[in-house]
Amino acid sequence: MTHASMAAPAPKTEPNPTPVTPVRNSGRYLYAATVILLCAWVLVPLYFLLVNTLSSPEQVSTFPKSFIPEFDLGSLQFFAGFQGILNALKNSIIVASMTMVMSILFGAPAGYALSRFEFRGKETFRVLILLTRAFPLPLLALPLAVLFIRTGLDDTTFGLALVHTTLALPFAVLITFSLFSGIPVELEEAAWTLGCTRFTAFTKVVLPLILPGITASAIFAFVISWNEVFAAAVLTIENRTLTAFLLQTLGEAPLHLKFAGGFILVVPALIFIFAVRKYLFSMWGIANR
């Protein structure tokens, strides 16, 4: 916004004006327009999702739409009462929680090792971590399903949590790697000279310093699991998570149920991602402090 207001008066007041060419000005407008367009791209659907969720079931299918939600909880009530939905919601929470715990349990030590120790194949290991995301899930779905049926892991929340952990683990490793790297090794060394073992130095010095970041990483893992639909749809039948359940019932469900379901899915993810955005930026190497 400041670009436009600053640009306009400048050529008139300055005695020897730097030429503000039309090209430069139009570049600014293009920039602003792109920003607005991209924001709208994300925000407008979310807004309609909100409006429809807070409309009564009858209002949802009418046209034209009002831009102000009428704050009718009818759709949400219908959603809560729908057969199997609460069970799916419960499954989603269980799977996401297990994913969260497991990805931190395995990811944080890997991140610590990457940031603190020199070992052979360290760079290869880092690339391999990312490479786990190189195989599309549909490619893996069939062998996974066969394997799960053989081992009896099919249609269990734990089995699904394992798959989701695999998806979340690379991010957990990379986020914790950047967290640990941000803590000077001298802090740990100072703790060792002051009577700490490697373990107590970690719990007394490193852990308090990275706890917020670990939390963020955990929440991110939760969101990955919460949003995942493909593996959930393929690997579960009875114990469906919310995403898989909604996908299954998408065809037959009434419109207001879809809106309410979408809303319930989007809101926690949005809130969580907003809460941990600082750490996601740091993972991607964007200076943000």
Partner 1 sequence: MRGDLQKDTNDMAEIQIKNVAKTFGAYQALHSIDLAIADQEFMVLLGASGCGKTTLLRIIAGLETASIGEVWIGGRRVDHLAPKDRGIAMVFQNYAVFPHLTVFENIGFGLRMAKMPNDEVKRRVERTASLMHIEQLLKRYSGELSGGQRQRVAVARALAMEPDVILMDEPLSNLDALLRLEMRAELKGVLAESKTTAIYVTHDQVEAMSLADRISVMHQGRIIQAASPIEVYRNPAAQFVAGFLGNPPMNFLRAEKAGDGKWNVAGETVDGPRGAEAPLQFAIRPEDMQIADQGLPAQVRLVEPLGAHLLVTCDVDGTMLRAVLDSDLSLKAGDHIKLAPQPDRVRWFDPETTKAVA
Q: Given the rule CB under 8 A, which residues bind partner 1?
A: 184, 186-187, 189-197, 200, 204-205, 208-209
Q: What's the closest the beta carbon of residue 194 comes to partner 1, in angstroms?
A: 4
**Nearest residue (CB) to partner 1, 84 versus 182:** 182
* Closest residue by Cα to residue 103 from 24, 162, 61, 44: 162
**Amino acid identity of 6?**
M
The secondary structure of residue 89, as a DSSP letter, is H
Rounded to the nearest 10 degrees, the angle between the axes of helix 22-53 and helix 255-275 is 120
Q: What's the closest the beta carbon of residue 157 comes to partner 1, in angstroms?
A: 36
**Amino acid identity of 248?**
Q
**Nearest residue (CB) to partner 1, 76 versus 183:** 183
Q: What's the closest the beta carbon of residue 121 comes to partner 1, in angstroms?
A: 16
Looking at the chain, list the stretches that DSSP marks H as alpha helix, in order from N- to C-terminal side: 2-7, 10-13, 22-53, 57-60, 74-81, 85-116, 122-131, 137-151, 157-181, 185-193, 198-201, 207-227, 230-235, 242-249, 255-275, 277-283
**Nearest residue (CB) to partner 1, 16 versus 193:** 193
Q: What's the closest the beta carbon of residue 203 comes to partner 1, in angstroms?
A: 12
**Nearest residue (CB) to partner 1, 142 versus 194:** 194
Q: What's the closest the beta carbon of residue 77 comes to partner 1, in angstroms?
A: 46
* Closest residue by Cα to residue 144 from 127, 166, 129: 166
**Nearest residue (CB) to partner 1, 132 versus 288:** 288
Question: Any residues with CB less than 8 A from the CB of 36 and at least 6 apart, and which?
Answer: none
